[in-house]
Structure 1
Amino acid sequence: MTTVGLLYPGHSAEDDYPRIAVLLDSDIRLPLFHTDIGEDAHRTDALIEMGSADRLAAGVEELRLAGAESLMWACTSGSFVRGMRGAQEQIRELAQTAGLPASSTSFAFVHAVQALGLTRVAVAATYPEDITASFGDFLKEAGLEVTAARASGIVTAAEVATWGREQVLDLARTGDDPMAEAVLLPDTALHTVAHLEELESELGKPVLTANQVTVWEGLRLAERRAWADDLGALFVRPAWERDEWQPSGG
């Protein structure tokens, strides 16, 4: 049994996580604690407050009791808006409080792109322009090249959570760039897991989404590898690890 604890802000697209758990091995658990979101606004001051140490610490004990082996701050904007140094300090404090390895969705994106051996990405964000630019700056500071960034101008997570398949596909299509090796959809309030196969099929490249990379990062911290055919390129078993042996005929 592997258990990844999730600190998730408010109530938006948290139902993506049970869907991921079903698609992964049956001995992977993803208990979730809803942190206090405060003001629902993709605005720098509100996002910094949403990711404050006190708000994150509130769920730590519950997730520890649930058997968490790693802890994820399942939020992108509430991390990268602090800049690289601030985001690192946020995670250090969380890990120290929990006594567990910890990370956030912002760092999950960076590590996922690196794990796929890629460097050039396009950002397709639900956020306003300034918040989208902050995410681009974070990725660049991490050593990635951002070839394009599309901002949708949505202010609240509540509105993002209402988006369906067509809006998600349109976001990815319009945010894609020919120079990009992957497309990143950074909002954990956006339902994306049900559309991963279609997104990658249509764009012809890896598509990394917030709730997807959050679980992947938590499993990485727990030193657990897991594969699923329906969760995009990030969860596809590498060819060199597949068992290609077939019994010979007689």
Structure 2
Amino acid sequence: MTALGFLYPGHFAEDDYARIEQLLGSDVRVELVHTGIGEDVYQVEALRATGSAEKLAKDVEELRLSGAEAVVWASTSGSFGHGWEGAHEQVRALARAAGMPASSTSFAFVHAVREVGVRRVAVAAPYPAEVTALFTDFLRAGNVEVVASHSAGTAAAAEVAGWGEPQVLALARAADTAQAQALLLPDTALHTASHIAALEEELGKPVLTANQVTVWEALRLTDRRVNAPGLGELFTREPIVQV
């Protein structure tokens, strides 16, 4: 049994993790610890405060006791909001506090883009434009070429958490372009685990979503590769590895 640990802000799309655990169909256990979010608003300073080292260190002890083998800070904006170097320091501090390998959703996106073998991506974000711009800057710092982006301009995670498949598909279509080899849907408040297959069929390319890449990143940190077609191309590029 491989136990994966996640620090998840709030309670917006937490059920995505139970769904992903089910779709993995293997001996993988997902452990979720909820962190406080302060004010639910897509504003840069508020997003940075969500991922402060003090807050993350305070909540990681519960994951240590659960037997988790790796921890991922399951917030895209709460990591890329600190910039490339700041996000690295955030992860280093989390690893020290947890005593285990650590990463964040923003780095998960960079690593997942490499995993699916693409370079040019489109970004479909629910955020305001200024927040989306920070994410695209982060991707470019990780040598990912962003050829198109779309910002839905929503004000808070609570609104995004209520979106269903029609809204998610509309968001993806708004950003997609023929030049993009993959489409990225940031924000762990967005329910996507049940829609990835439909998104990839609709767009004809790999689709990477926040909660999907977050779990994949934790598996990567524990040297697991699990084949799960329901979770899209990201989870079908390597054979199952039994540990």
Report the TM-score range of the alignment, normalised by the length of the smaller protein.
Answer: over 0.9
SS state of the match for residue 58, structure 1? helix
State the 1:58 CA deviation: 2.0
* CA–CA distance in structure 2, aligned partners of residues 2 and 33 of structure 1: 17
State the 1:59 CA deviation: 1.8
Q: Which of 1 and 2 has greater Rg?
A: 1
Asked if residue 12 in structure 1 is aligned to residue 12 in structure 2, the reply is yes
Q: Give 1:203's aligned residue.
A: 203
SS state of the match for residue 79, structure 1? helix
Asked if residue 75 in structure 1 is aligned to residue 75 in structure 2, the reply is yes
Task: Answer yes or no: is the 8 Å Cα contact 2:21–2:30 preserved in 1.
Answer: yes
* CA–CA distance in structure 2, aligned partners of residues 64 and 223 of structure 1: 19
State the 1:107 CA deviation: 0.2
* CA–CA distance in structure 1, aligned partners of residues 28 and 197 of structure 2: 21
**TM-score when scaled to structure 1?**
0.94
* CA–CA distance in structure 2, aligned partners of residues 56 and 159 of structure 1: 24
Q: Give 1:217's aligned residue.
A: 217
SS state of the match for residue 8, structure 2? strand
Matches within 5 A, 1:174-213: 174-213=174-213
1:71-127 alpha-carbon deviations (Å, 9 max, x no partner) = 000000000011100000000000011110000000000000001111000000000
SS state of the match for residue 38, structure 1? coil
Matches within 5 A, 1:63-102: 63-102=63-102
- Opposite residue 155 of structure 1, the aligned amino acid is A
* CA–CA distance in structure 2, aligned partners of residues 65 and 194 of structure 1: 30
* CA–CA distance in structure 1, aligned partners of residues 64 and 101 of structure 2: 12
Q: Give 2:131's aligned residue.
A: 131
Q: Give 1:169's aligned residue.
A: 169
* CA–CA distance in structure 2, aligned partners of residues 89 and 183 of structure 1: 27
Count of residue pairs brought into register by the alignment: 240
* CA–CA distance in structure 2, aligned partners of residues 66 and 124 of structure 1: 34
State the 1:25 CA deviation: 3.0
Q: Which runs of 5+ in 1 are unaligned?
A: 243-250
1:152-198 alpha-carbon deviations (Å, 9 max, x no partner) = 00121111101111000100111111100000000100000101100
State the 1:57 CA deviation: 1.3
Asked if residue 143 in structure 1 is aligned to residue 143 in structure 2, the reply is yes
* CA–CA distance in structure 2, aligned partners of residues 117 and 168 of structure 1: 24
* CA–CA distance in structure 2, aligned partners of residues 129 and 173 of structure 1: 17
* CA–CA distance in structure 2, aligned partners of residues 17 and 227 of structure 1: 16
**TM-score when scaled to structure 2?**
0.97
- Opposite residue 3 of structure 2, the aligned amino acid is T
* CA–CA distance in structure 2, aligned partners of residues 156 and 230 of structure 1: 28
